[in-house]
Amino acid sequence: MTHALTIRGFQDLIRDRYYKTDSARGTPGTFMWFIEEVGELATALQNNAPGKPATPEQRANLDEEFADVLAWLATLANVNGVDLERALRKYTEPGVEGVKD
């Protein structure tokens, strides 16, 4: 049985597992890994485009690339002392208006 994972819980998990290596790499190196994963996600999205039949392997790869991008974003946040859950309040707290362009 799986349990619900919060943003904070996921960021803490990434920090607990990888912070020593991530902090030694620093922001520039970590950002490059993040961008590489964004590129892989772009490719996976193209392979799963609407109207284009995707194989089960392509669909699984899409899930994997979304997870990788989120993990590297959490890593970047950890290296830079950003609490993602707190930062995301701009989208969840009452009084937040406007549209994300």
The rounded distance, in Å, linking the Cα atoms of 46 and 41 is: 9
Report field, pTM of the whole predicted structure over 0.85? yes
Give me the pLDDT at residue 51, please.
87
What's the pLDDT score for residue 100? 61
Domain 26-80 falls under CATH 3.40.718.10: no
Q: What does the block give as tokens for 85?
A: 């859950």
- The pLDDT of residue 11: 98
Confidence (pLDDT) at 97: 67
Do 34 and 75 form a contact (C-beta atoms < 8 A)? Answer: yes
> Where exactly are the structural domains of the chain?
26-80
**pLDDT for the residue 9:** 96
All residue ranges of the chain with pLDDT < 50 are none
Give the Cα separation of 39 and 29 in Å (integer).
16
DSSP string over 36-96: HHHHHHHHHHHHT-TTSPPPHHHHHHHHHHHHHHHHHHHHHHHHTT--HHHHTHHHHSTT-
